[in-house]
Amino acid sequence: EAQVTQNPRYLITVTGKKLTVTCSQNMNHEYMSWYRQDPGLGLRQIYYSMNVEVTDKGDVPEGYKVSRKEKRNFPLILESPSPNQTSLYFCASSPTTSNHEQFFGPGTRLTVL
Amino acid sequence: QKEVEQDPGPLSVPEGAIVSLNCTYSNSAFQYFMWYRQYSRKGPELLMYTYSSGNKEDGRFTAQVDKSSKYISLFIRDSQPSDSATYLCASPTDSWGKLQFGAGTQVVVTP
């Protein structure tokens, strides 16, 4: 089944404890992206990747890191999480950078205490 | 200021009614518009897209773009309880697939 998977789906952590949210797609998509979704603010892009080893900042990159060493994986790293990073996170992928239909993962709900 | 604005709702309608959803955008460079549907506890999924001004119809759904007023709309005819979801409008800011999303409008269709 073609899909975008994220792990973990739910995570409660404490301030300052490094964490990684994994994202994987099995559709051979070139483009991948991370979003956070907050009430009243909608989806905001954190980082995106146009292909392996090519990443760029979205609208809200502060406090996050990403890497794209393989085409299928695009992990989101929070080196020192803070409470304002409590949010619902979505990974998405798209066949190419010019194809605007993005396929979203199921989401990761993160709580930072 | 967000480049895509959307009334958060909730919008409650009886089954069978027409649902009308709207977004405004500020960047006149936007050329391509999309509507995503998001069910509770799920990721968004693409519902419709349109590239130019005018209407696009797909079954019970019609997407409308008015570039002169920077206004995009989605109409759902003969609404069903299964249409209850949050609807997000979006537009890419450039060709790299960087999407600007509205905040989403929650729709509740009551039987």
Q: How far apart are the first and last CA of chain A?
A: 36
Sign of the Cα pseudo-torsion (B44, B4, A66, A25, in order): positive
Q: Looking at the complex, does the CB of residue A47 fall below 8 Å from at least one CB of chain B?
A: no
Residue (of B96, B88, B110) closest to A49 by Cα position? B96
pLDDT tens for each residue of A58-94: 889 999 999 999 999 999 999 999 999 999 999 999 9
Q: Chains A, B: CB contacts under 8 A, how many? A: 62
Q: Looking at the complex, does the CB of residue A4 fall below 8 Å from at least one CB of chain B?
A: yes
**DSSP-derived secondary structure letter, A16:** T
Which chain B residues have any C-beta within 8 angstroms of a chain A C-beta? 2, 6, 8, 32, 34, 41-46, 49, 88, 90, 92, 95-99, 101-104
The contacts of residue B106 (CB under 8 Å, 6+ apart) are B8, B9, B10, B11, B85, B86
Residue B76 to residue B73: CA distance in whole angstroms: 10
Average pLDDT over residues A30-45: 92
Contact A101 B96 (CB under 8 A): no
Residue A90 to residue A33: CA distance in whole angstroms: 8
pLDDT value at residue A16: 96
Residue B102 to residue B82: CA distance in whole angstroms: 22
pLDDT value at residue A23: 98
User: Residue B65 phi/psi, 5° resolution?
Assistant: -125, 130
Residue B39 to residue A57: CA distance in whole angstroms: 28
Contact B96 A50 (CB under 8 A): yes
Closest residue of chain B to A98, computed from CA coordinates: B95
User: Mind telling me how many Å the CA of B19 is from chain A's nearest CA?
Assistant: 20
Closest residue to A100, CB basis, from B2, B34, B101: B34
Q: How far apart are the first and last CA of chain B?
A: 37
Best mutation target, A7, A30, A37, to test chain B (most B CBs within 10 A): A37
The contacts of residue B59 (CB under 8 Å, 6+ apart) are none
Q: Is B83 in a helix, a strand, or coil?
A: helix
Average pLDDT along chain B, 111 residues, taken 10 residues at a time: 83 96 86 91 91 85 90 95 95 73 94 94
pLDDT value at residue B94: 67
Question: At which residue do the structure tokens 């696009």 appear?
Answer: B56
pLDDT value at residue B27: 80
Q: Looking at the complex, does the CB of residue A34 fall below 8 Å from at least one CB of chain B?
A: no
Q: What's chain B's length in residues?
A: 111
Model confidence band, residue A113 (pLDDT cutoffs 50, 70, 90): very high
